Structure 1
Amino acid sequence: MTAEEAIAFIKPGTTIGASGFTGSGYPKAVPLALAAKIKEEADSGRTFRVNLWTGASTGPELDGALAEVNGIEFRMPYQSDTHMRDRINRGEAHYFDYHLSHSTPLVKSGAMGPLHTAVIEVTAIKSDGRLVPSSSAGNNQAWLDAAEQVILEVNSWQNADLEGMHDFYTIAPPPNTQPIPIMKADDRIGSPYMTVDPSKVVAVVETHIPDRNAPFSDPGEVEMKIAANLLDFLSHEVKMGRMPENLFPLQSGVGNIANAVLCGLMDSPFENMTSYTEVIQDGMINLLKAGKLRMASATAFSLSPDMAKYINDHMHEFQDKMILRPQDVSNNPEVIRRLGCIAMNSLIETDIYGNVNSTHVMGSRVMNGIGGSGDFARSASISVFMTPSTAKGGAISAIVPQACHVDHGSQDVRVIVTEQGLADLRGLSPKQRAETIIRNCAHPDYRPALLDYYKRARDVSVGQHTPVILDEALSWHSRFVKAGSMRA
């Protein structure tokens, strides 16, 4: 049926579990039709809102279209759309920001309440009813299992050669959970297909709409310096015998800095590398093409428009080089710890003691969400957080006396990297961490003020383990809000 006919099955107050992860494999036609219906109802003075669960962020036809018409009451577990973010920060929508690997177990436990409708994009439906997934795995199978009814979008834009690339494995809930039998990033342990109870499928909608991802800008001088600092560190770890010559499996967060690191690996001495991560980005595709990366295991693509088109046109060349898994497997702490992954993620700010804020601006405005960074940071062999040392033309320092929000406590942060340098925090006390971060990572414009704060804190703090001046700890943020700059 058409998307306009299919939305008759979706009522106000419905909880929708949609496919999609970082702009890949999300439904497009049904959400657009639903957004048009919501606007029509609003124009007639009637309220029509839904709750939306996904794998992670999606694209403009889903998050963007529904948020633009104020059609989302509740959102989880991650978002990055401008309209959605604005609704959340204006208090017009509730947002449950949650570790991505934990979202499936939470829904399976029943704590989130019922899932009324799953809207899942697939590449094809086999004659026996098995589903060929599209460009993300995410929480798709969990939504198909939990939903009371299912709407399928069969998107012919997605390349048929995606068939066979996925590896769906179901983790039983406690107390029957078994170890996940992944010993290396290459291992396949499940089925390339999703399954669904045919009696739950109420609509099948055919589409031909591309995934829409934002373009990446070319790495600038700052990003390349950050990458160089990190690659020097990894080379030193290999030299010291703490890491094999092909490194441990790589996990890379989304963004220009992460892609700069991946670009830097192209010219590095490291060969035969693997990746056990949550998203496959442009840089990983280039490493696969060059033969530097042997295997990329993830849950979705996160590609620029040009690279998405390239992959869609050349999918057959990568069928044995990429695996897409459910996100409770791709981000599973047990597997991450076993493989010894190197976690590389971005941050918004860190305080001098290494507490990292990766989600909030000035304490109260959420940017995107914690995503998978927490899944990887705590369990990785080395957890790296990267950032330029300043933002907003130098008006904001990424190194502050105290983080205004903490997503990753100092115990989960082993390395911090800026274009100024790298701070290896392993085995350091809080005061040693402060001195190392300020000396190695802070921008010269802010370094004297940070040192001044730290020295005075040691003089007046009631405790000397983690010295703090309570009246000044967040004064840099207050100054920015009032004056537009953290500079004194």
Structure 2
Amino acid sequence: MDKRIGHAGLASRVMTAAQAAELIDPGMTIGMSGFTGAGYPKAVPKALADRMMATQGHGDPFRVRVLTGASTAPELDGALARADGIDMRLPYQSDPELRARINRGEMDYLDIHLSHVAQYAWFGFFGKLDLAVIEATAILPDGSLLPSSSVGNNKTWLDLADKVIIEVNHWQPLEMDGMHDIYYGTALPPHRRPIPLIKPDDRIGEPYLRCDPDKVIAVVETHAPDRNSAFAPIDETSKRIAGHLIEFFRHEIAKGRLSPQLLPLQSGVGNIANAVLAGLQEGGFSGLTAYTEVIQDCMLDLLANGVVSVASATSFSLSPVGIERFLADIEFFRKRIILRTQEISNHPELVRRLGCIAMNGMVEADIYGNVNSTHVAGTSIINGIGGSGDFARNGFLSCFLTPSTAKNGAISCLVPMVSHVDHTEHDVSVLVTEQGLADLRGLSPRQRAKVVIEHCAHPTYRPLLQDYFERALHSSRGKHTPHLLAEALAWHERFLETGDMRPK
């Protein structure tokens, strides 16, 4: 392609971001591109935020409903939140200003499974979609779009929206052409058919996003990078967590429950996830595959070294160093990375069919295996459930990972009862901390409590958990899942009152 806007009619609709923002009305429901800080519109949301603040300065409220793929960046979530311009947001977020407004009750937030977003939109659960604001790498002569560094829910937004604004980002490399796989075979019940994907490297769709040129009301050209925060160095705690999990994989191979190539890997974003991926390389694994949501720096390492042969995802989540590496060897990675819509990357049917090994972080777990991955003290949202539930409920193995303590030991990440439940005990196979690993498969609640306390709890809190469990065994009315209801959340109350879960 020798130019970024190949459609003559759409080339005539190029305008500034400020002009495009003038086409957005208060009260609109807007589907925006973006997933974990990649592929989000960079210019129009900031221009819209400026317009909102100017309008509100005259006493006129200006808010919109914002739907995305996942988290975006300060130019989108942060700008609109600071302008008090978001009435409702879904499905996942990470911006500090946005989070603060949610937790102060100043805006509504819907925390839902990522695999549900597209189908709920199609079902009409969110009402009419007025506008889609989508970043693209280029517009082809027929009006279709070369996607950028994330796909997310862009297909759904383009299909359902009454109007479309396209940001063509010249920073996104044209060499990504051929990396995307956009599946158009989904349908509404009762007319659904099996999705024809049986291996992570299967291509079942098209390389481009279909876009009706008649819907497009503006095209804005940009040249701006994705949010590319550097990852923190992998610390000793993360290495120990990764080591326990790698040792567990070896045990499962020895027992014949896993092959040396394991099963398709899914990993959440962050330090621990990167440590696990690095551990697979150090452990001598090869011929692995990944069917996950995001491509992180360590996944590039595994692809380059042949540890992983192919990685399927819906987005990148790379550091500045990772971006440089990807761009320097994009021809190599284009043959080994497939970016799909998130309704396919997170589809429960496919996760179960492929038998994914799910590895995700958590805030806390209780002694019976229930997991909280979203809330502090049961009331304050952090980021959201994301796609962890899609993989936890349907994967071959569901592993949740965390350090055993937080805030210099003031918080235990293993508690008598979680303050908020995202993943019930029924969906959790393995808990891992730097202290050890608890294999919960095939265990009753009381058996689970014993292995969680023994293998995962920090030595400071282990006696406290053991004391709670033993007293609950003798005092609670029910012996199946023993609890002392008056004390079950006392650790959280103590932290809120004193700043420390440990008794004085």
Please report the TM-score for the alignment, with normalisation by the length of structure 2. 0.96
Aligned to 1:248: 263
Aligned to 1:379: 394
State which of 337, 341, 349 in structure 1 corresponds to 2:364. Answer: 349
SS in 2 for 1:261: helix
Aligned to 2:12: none
Aligned equivalents of 2:41, 2:297: Cα separation in 1: 23
Aligned to 1:271: 286
Q: C-alpha offsets along residues 12-69 of structure 1, whole Å, 9 cap, x if unaligned? A: 1111100000000000110010111111122222211111000000111111111111
SS in 2 for 1:226: helix
State which of 457, 482, 487 in structure 2 corresponds to 1:442. Answer: 457
Aligned to 1:38: 52
Aligned equivalents of 2:125, 2:352: Cα separation in 1: 27
SS in 2 for 1:113: coil
Partner amino acid for 1:59?
Answer: A
SS in 1 for 2:408: helix
Q: C-alpha offsets along residues 92-114 of structure 1, whole Å, 9 cap, x if unaligned? A: 11000000001000000112100
After TM superposition, the structure 1 = structure 2 runs for residues 288-327 of structure 1, keeping only pairs within 5 Å, are: 288-327=303-342
Aligned to 2:149: 135
Gaps of 5+ in 2: 1-14
State which of 393, 408, 411 in structure 1 corresponds to 2:423. Answer: 408
Aligned to 1:219: 234
Q: CA RMSD in A?
A: 0.8
User: Does structure 2 conserve the Cα–Cα contact (< 8 Å) formed by 1:212 and 1:305?
Assistant: no
Question: Is 1:419 the counterpart of 2:443 in the alignment?
Answer: no
Aligned to 1:47: 61
Q: CA deviation at 1:134?
A: 0.2
Gaps of 5+ in 1: none
SS in 2 for 1:9: coil
Aligned to 2:491: 476
Q: CA deviation at 1:314?
A: 2.8
Aligned to 1:100: 114
Question: Is 1:459 the counterpart of 2:459 in the alignment?
Answer: no
Question: Is 1:66 the counterpart of 2:101 in the alignment?
Answer: no
Aligned to 1:147: 161
Aligned equivalents of 2:30, 2:325: Cα separation in 1: 31
User: Does structure 2 conserve the Cα–Cα contact (< 8 Å) formed by 1:97 and 1:369?
Assistant: yes
Aligned to 1:230: 245
Q: CA deviation at 1:310?
A: 2.5
SS in 2 for 1:142: helix
Structure 1 range deviating more: 313-322 or 84-93: 313-322
Aligned to 2:172: 158
Partner amino acid for 1:221?
Answer: E
Aligned equivalents of 1:151, 1:309: Cα separation in 2: 29
User: Does structure 2 conserve the Cα–Cα contact (< 8 Å) formed by 1:397 and 1:443?
Assistant: yes
Aligned to 2:4: none
Partner amino acid for 1:367?
Answer: I
SS in 1 for 2:136: strand
Question: Is 1:121 the counterpart of 2:135 in the alignment?
Answer: yes
Q: CA deviation at 1:313?
A: 3.7
User: Does structure 2 conserve the Cα–Cα contact (< 8 Å) formed by 1:159 and 1:313?
Assistant: no
Aligned equivalents of 1:24, 1:354: Cα separation in 2: 33
User: Does structure 2 conserve the Cα–Cα contact (< 8 Å) formed by 1:345 and 1:384?
Assistant: yes
Partner amino acid for 1:203?
Answer: A
State which of 344, 353, 373 in structure 2 corresponds to 1:329. Answer: 344
After TM superposition, the structure 1 = structure 2 runs for residues 68-87 of structure 1, keeping only pairs within 5 Å, are: 68-87=82-101
Aligned equivalents of 1:118, 1:396: Cα separation in 2: 42
Aligned equivalents of 1:17, 1:442: Cα separation in 2: 42
SS in 1 for 2:446: helix
SS in 1 for 2:171: coil
Q: CA deviation at 1:317?
A: 2.0
State which of 380, 388, 399 in structure 2 corresponds to 1:365. Answer: 380
Question: Is 1:208 the counterpart of 2:223 in the alignment?
Answer: yes
Structure 1 range deviating more: 380-389 or 260-269: 260-269
Aligned equivalents of 1:103, 1:309: Cα separation in 2: 32
Aligned to 2:275: 260
User: Does structure 2 conserve the Cα–Cα contact (< 8 Å) formed by 1:64 and 1:82?
Assistant: yes
Q: C-alpha offsets along residues 348-376 of structure 1, whole Å, 9 cap, x if unaligned? A: 00000000000000110000000000000
Question: Is 1:176 the counterpart of 2:216 in the alignment?
Answer: no
How many pairs are equivalent?
Answer: 488
User: Does structure 2 conserve the Cα–Cα contact (< 8 Å) formed by 1:158 and 1:312?
Assistant: no
Aligned equivalents of 1:237, 1:218: Cα separation in 2: 29
Partner amino acid for 1:168?
Answer: I
Flag the 1:312–1:61 CA change in 2: closer, same or farther, 3 A: farther
Aligned equivalents of 1:424, 1:34: Cα separation in 2: 50
User: Does structure 2 conserve the Cα–Cα contact (< 8 Å) formed by 1:340 and 1:381?
Assistant: yes
User: Does structure 2 conserve the Cα–Cα contact (< 8 Å) formed by 1:348 and 1:358?
Assistant: yes
Q: C-alpha offsets along residues 408-433 of structure 1, whole Å, 9 cap, x if unaligned? A: 00000000000000000000000000
Aligned equivalents of 1:374, 1:130: Cα separation in 2: 32
Please report the TM-score for the alignment, with normalisation by the length of structure 1. 0.99
